[in-house]
Amino acid sequence: MGRPPRRNLRMGQRDMPITILIGAQWGDEGKGRVVDWLAASADIVARYAGGDNAGHTVALDGQVYKLHLIPSGILHSDVVSIMGNGMVVNPVNLVREIDVLRKLGLRISPERLVISSRAHIITPAHIALDEAKEMALGAAKIGTTLRGIGPAYLDKTGRAGIRTGDMLLDVEEFAERLVASMEATNEDLRSQGLQTLDARAAAQSYLDAADILRPYIRDVSIYLYEALKAGKRVLCEGAQGTLLDIDHGSYPFVTSSSPTAGGALTGLGVGPLFVERVLGVAKAFSTRVGGGPMPTELDGDIAERLRGSGANFWDEFGTTTGRPRRCGWLDVVMLRYAVGVNGLSELMLTKMDILSGLDELKLATAYMIDGERFEYPPVTNEQLERAIPIYESMPGWSEDISNCREFGDLPKAARHYIERVAQLCDAPIEMVSVGPERDQIVMKTTRPRVAAPR
Ligand code: GDP
Ligand code: IMO
Ligand code: MG
């Protein structure tokens, strides 16, 4: 006890240059487009969790970029994009993504993209095992993206994984590790009576990818530490969302990583004293893709209306899998929880424009479960399945808000909706988005550290 250590005092007095941006719901909140907006005032954008289960959409001047592994800062030519140790990387898919982005005119080089040597590699055997596990679960399946995410993290925590840094080894040695890892996963497949992979054949495309990726791989934590000491500003890009977190989500209907704010520190190897701001991004309504409880899920006309037909790229169909997303009213109980477990300093609402034209809007402010009122989600999934949302009704607005850029431009009912959400979750909301394009953002106050894109 007593005085904090000297070193902490020094750090505390220093400019705190890290912003952590997280998804406050079940993923797909619009994180990619917000990262793209905030990247204008960052030097580095760093992804810290997940793999190509993520799909982050950024729309700029009519061009739509779909990012799965590469951070959403990549559209800014003066920003360094970092892939952290908390990620799981499919090297073949990464090379493919680099190619797609290059064809769209983006410059990608080892000066602009840095891959942690400590990220884990997803192999084709992990993908096969992901599929096998889902099949075995039948109706109880998690609804994973089938990208091999769970099996890769399982090998990581089981201390049997192979890492991106292994690509720096002698080619033969890397090939041996890769084959050995796939053979081990083959054992699991065999034990379930499932088809195994020809590990040597499957390894070839990985060796080719390693040749391309080698120059991008380095120690990211040290890179970030040096950058932070030199005064660089770092934006940490969350993937997935709070309610998909392996610890804090609705387990087992979760992903296998830590998308919450704490995951940014371990998933990049940076210390908490550099963090200034934790921004939660939430959609103005709820969506979920995959299985698991969703208390405010709707069927029928309103769900269809929120989802859209699929004709627009922003309609609610998975960026990675194309699956229709489940839709419902905004679940403030879950948001309140996300504010707590992430220690959010502020919240942002996206897709406000989609609510235009609905006569009545509803906010789930609490749940009733077995006759008891809950302000936060209950401890067990079984209780959550029985949760009956208590709704507060709010008037909608009919105006097209997609051209609004200041809070004062928004209809009164829209401002009221935003203010009520902020009040119910006990977190300020200073930004909302009103369309998918980069500049379709409405800000309450112009703060210097959230500069307009340069
Ligand atoms: P992420 O995974 O959190 O980055 O989100 P996704 O990209 O998977 O899904 C969000 C979708 O909503 C994308 O198609 C975005 O282009 C779109 N989007 C984001 N913000 C807005 C908005 O304010 N209005 C509309 N209409 N679409 C938006
Ligand atoms: P972004 O970053 C929405 C969901 C899957 C499934 C569960 C486990 O775009 O927000 P996994 O393949 O990770 O083992 O699947 O997690 N899921 C996502 N849902 N957005 C995502 O990423 C997701 N990443 C995983 O649908 O329910
Ligand atoms: Mg997404």
pLDDT single digits (tens) 106-128: 999 999 999 999 999 999 999 99
CA 244 to centroid of ligand 2, rounded, Å: 7
Q: If pLDDT is split at 50, 70 and 90, which confidence band does 446 have?
A: low
CA 53 to centroid of ligand 3, rounded, Å: 8
> Positive or negative CA dihedral for 46, 52, 58, 63?
positive
* Percentage of residues of the chain with pLDDT beyond 90: 91
Q: Which atom of ligand 1 is nearest to the CA of 57?
A: 7
Q: If pLDDT is split at 50, 70 and 90, which confidence band does 449 have?
A: very low
Q: How much is the pLDDT for 9?
A: 41
Q: If pLDDT is split at 50, 70 and 90, which confidence band does 8 have?
A: very low
- Ligand 1 atom 8 nearest Cα: 28
pLDDT at 366 over 80: yes
Contact 288, 307 (CB under 8 A): no
Q: What is the mean pLDDT of the chain?
A: 94
CA trace torsion 399, 403, 409, 412 (10° rounding): 30
The residue from 28, 52, 130, 245 that is catalytic is 28
- Ligand 1 atom 20 nearest Cα: 436
Spell out the residues 6+ positions from residue 410 whose beta carbon is closer than 8 angstroms to its own.
Answer: 352, 401, 404, 418, 432, 442
d(CA 431, CA 232): 24
Q: If pLDDT is split at 50, 70 and 90, which confidence band does 93 have?
A: very high
* The model's pTM: 0.95
CA 124 to centroid of ligand 3, rounded, Å: 22
pLDDT at 6 over 80: no
- Ligand 1 atom 15 nearest Cα: 314
Q: How much is the pLDDT for 445?
A: 73
CA trace torsion 195, 319, 253, 131 (10° rounding): 0
Q: If pLDDT is split at 50, 70 and 90, which confidence band does 11 have?
A: very low
Active-site annotation holds for 28: yes
pLDDT at 417 over 70: yes
Q: How much is the pLDDT for 131?
A: 94
Q: Which amino acid is at 424?
A: L
Output the ligand 1 site: residues, CB below 6 A.
23, 27-33, 55-57, 59, 313-314, 319, 350-351, 353-354, 433-436, 440
Residue 363's SS3 state is strand
Residue 60 φ then ψ, to 5°: -140, 120
pLDDT at 7 over 80: no
Closest CA to 242 of 111, 338, 176: 338
Task: Tell me which residue has tokens 């709070």.
Answer: 242
Q: How much is the pLDDT for 338?
A: 98
Mean pLDDT value across residues 96-110: 97
Mean pLDDT value across residues 260-272: 97
Q: How much is the pLDDT for 318?
A: 85
Active-site annotation holds for 56: yes
Helix (H) or strand (E) holding 57: strand 56-60
- Ligand 2 atom 27 nearest Cα: 290
> Positive or negative CA dihedral for 28, 31, 32, 34?
positive
Closest CA to 53 of 28, 25, 23, 33: 28
pLDDT at 133 over 50: yes
pLDDT at 143 over 90: yes
- Ligand 1 atom 25 nearest Cα: 435
pLDDT at 454 over 60: no
pLDDT at 4 over 60: no
Ligand nearest to the CA of 438: 1
The residue from 36, 52, 56, 120 that is catalytic is 56
Spell out the residues 6+ positions from residue 36 whose beta carbon is closer than 8 angstroms to its own.
Answer: 58, 60, 72, 73, 75, 76, 438
CA 440 to centroid of ligand 1, rounded, Å: 11
**Per-residue model confidence as pLDDT tens digits over 309-364:** 999 999 999 877 888 999 999 999 999 999 999 999 999 999 999 999 999 999 99
Q: How much is the pLDDT for 419?
A: 97
CA 41 to centroid of ligand 2, rounded, Å: 28
Mean pLDDT value across residues 140-165: 97
d(CA 200, CA 179): 6
- Please report the beta strands in 68-143, taking only residues with DSSP state E, as ranges in sequence order: 80-83, 88-89, 113-116, 120-121
